[in-house]
Structures are given as C-alpha cells and as structure tokens.
Amino acid sequence: MSGTCYRCFKAREACLCPYIRELDTGVKFVILIHPHEARLMRTGTGRIAHLSLGESELIQGVDFTENERLAQLLSDESYYPVLLYPGESARTTSDPAFRESLGSRRLLVIILDGTWAEAKKMLKFSKNLQALPRLSFNRGYRTHFVFKREPSPDAISTIESCYYLIKELGEIGVADTTGVENLMSVFERMVKFQLDCEYERRRLDAPERVALSQLKINRFSALNKT
Ligand SMILES: [Zn+2]
C-alpha cells in the first residue's frame, strides 16, 4: 500500500484529485459530516463534494446546536439557509414559494452526510437544524452507488445530491451549472475503482463470490449508459 491522499482521503492509487474541477455554482454548500462517515475514507463522498464545490464547507459532528461556525453562517443575513432533507414541510425547487423566500439572498444549502440513520440522529440532536426551512428534490433519483448498501434504494450519496440539486437549481436560475457534469464523472470514477478493487480482491481470495462483483460491475455499466 502506498498510503492515502490527504486531500481527497482516497488511497494514492485511487486519488481523485487530478479529476476534481472546482465549480462556481453561486450556491453555498455546507456539508455536515457524521464522524463515522468521515472515517469511511473509501466510500465517503462528502469530502469529494466539498473539494468540487468552490463555495463549500465541511463540518464534522453529530449535534450542531452549539457549533460556532454553523451559528455564524445561519445568522448571516446575506444567506437564505435551507436543509436538504425530505419531510412534509419541505419545499421543492419548483415551488414558487421557495423562490419567493429566497428573494435576492444567496442560497445556503446544508447537507447531512451519513447513512439515513446517522442523518436522522444528527437532525434529532441539532435544534438549529430542526428550525431550518427544508428543501427537497423536485424529482426522484436513483443512486449509481451500487457499492454501498443503503436501506432505501432512494437514498442517494452526498455528491449525487449536490449534482441533482445544482441541476434543479439551474433550471430556475438559482445555480450556475457550468461544469456540473464533472461532479458525476468524478463520482463514477470513484465507484468504478471500488468495484474493480472488490472484483480483484475476490478473484484472489474468494473466487466463489466473484460472480457477485461481476454482477455489480454490469449493473453499474448499465446505469451509466443511460
Ligand atoms: Zn487525492
């Protein structure tokens, strides 16, 4: 093993840094990363999203109620802060009320980076996050992250969330989508690398399970052809 890249937190041979293009979307993103997810250097996409989004910050924690940096951002009146999280009160990007509330302020999108259970816990503990208006997607999306097991097929990774949200915000003139496809191509490169590694590992150590890896690779290629 030749170590880890301390910028993208991937193994050196899987370093994504040369493929990351910093985007200037005009939207500020704050990625709140669960400590567990932060340690998952192999599969986490929050960090890659952060490196790709020029105007973004990554804050680690579970309970953000007393988080100074977040409090600072939330009290900045030049921003309209929203929590990207589903719920009955959540507005979608196509909701005229969302556009109205935003007004001339800059959109600040807060994203919880973790599994569904971790994100739920973060929200449960963080009183300041509970008070935020919620934003959710206009359309349903399926993840291309065939590597990770999520309890719900609707659960999409943080970097995919950013990608789809920027596209939707672009449709209503709130975000600049220039170069946004790069988010998805970096993500796909990451998933493909993980799948290839798993295949290779199984080929050597668990040949009876190679078929399963091949199945995932096929599923991934099929997803990315459409
Ligand atoms: Zn790197």
**Beta carbons within 10 angstroms of residue 49's beta carbon:** 27
CA of 11 to the centre of ligand 1 (A): 8
Nearest to 158, CA basis, from 183, 123, 129, 125: 183
In a domain, 225, yes or no: no
Over residues 170-224, the pLDDT tens digits come to 999 999 999 999 999 999 998 888 888 888 888 888 888 888 888 888 888 887 7
pTM comes to 0.88
Nearest to 58, CA basis, from 114, 107, 12: 114
CA of 2 to the centre of ligand 1 (A): 13
CA of 9 to the centre of ligand 1 (A): 6
In a domain, 20, yes or no: yes
In a domain, 56, yes or no: yes
Q: Cβ distance 104 to 53 under 8 Å?
A: no
What pLDDT, on a 0 to 100 scale, did the predictor assign at position 23?
96
CA of 17 to the centre of ligand 1 (A): 4
CA of 7 to the centre of ligand 1 (A): 5
Question: Across all residues in the chain, what is the average pLDDT?
Answer: 88
What pLDDT, on a 0 to 100 scale, did the predictor assign at position 12?
86
CA of 4 to the centre of ligand 1 (A): 8
Over residues 73-119, the pLDDT tens digits come to 999 999 999 999 988 889 999 999 999 999 999 999 999 998 888 89
In a domain, 211, yes or no: no
CA of 41 to the centre of ligand 1 (A): 11
Q: Cβ distance 29 to 55 under 8 Å?
A: yes
Domains contained in the chain, number:
1
Q: Cβ distance 171 to 99 under 8 Å?
A: no
CA of 75 to the centre of ligand 1 (A): 33
- Domain range for 131 is 12-184
Over residues 110-156, the pLDDT tens digits come to 999 988 888 999 999 999 999 999 999 988 877 766 655 555 555 78
